[in-house]
Amino acid sequence: MSESTPRRERVTSPRTSAARAQRVPAAREIDAQTLLGEVYMSSLLRSQLRLALLALATLAVLVGGIPLLFWLFPDLTDVEVLAVPLPWFLLAFAVYPFLFGIGWLYVRAAERNERDFTDVLDRS
């Protein structure tokens, strides 16, 4: 190296070491079963349990409400739909679209909970 060329110097930010420091992702906390990981998992489980109980309560009101409806209004038992008594028609055919709808909404909401959970994990 000759005397005429200046010596190269490397300029770094004082935050360079902070940028290199590894942040521990929340997924690693869950895998390691730390207290923070337990908090994350319990929040997901609580939200999924709440959702399942809501779906179950909706199902119970829907299916359990049919006998209550006919107990409160006994004249409805004489009504026929397509030559089938109304109570049998409701239990055999009409309840299934509602069951499908509850199931579809439950799956969409459960997937949304899981997406929100992974977003929280990605941000931390």
Per-residue confidence (pLDDT) for residue 113, from 0 to 100? 93
Per-residue confidence (pLDDT) for residue 2, from 0 to 100? 63
Query: What would the two tokens of residue 121 be?
Result: 């994990």
Pick from 22, 51, 27, 54: nearest CA to 41: 27
Per-residue confidence (pLDDT) for residue 61, from 0 to 100? 93
d(CA 56, CA 19): 48
Backbone angles phi, psi at 107, to 5 degrees: -65, -45
Per-residue confidence (pLDDT) for residue 26, from 0 to 100? 67
pLDDT tens digits, 53-87? 999 999 999 888 888 888 999 898 888 988 888 88
- List C-alpha distances in Å: 99 to 28, 48, 77, 81: 38, 19, 23, 20
Greatest Cα-to-Cα distance within the chain, rounded to the nearest angstrom: 110
- List C-alpha distances in Å: 44 to 19, 40, 58, 73, 96: 30, 7, 21, 43, 29
Q: Which residue ranges in the chain fall short of pLDDT 70?
A: 1-2, 13-27, 29, 31-32, 124
User: What pTM was computed for the model?
Assistant: 0.67
Per-residue confidence (pLDDT) for residue 21, from 0 to 100? 46
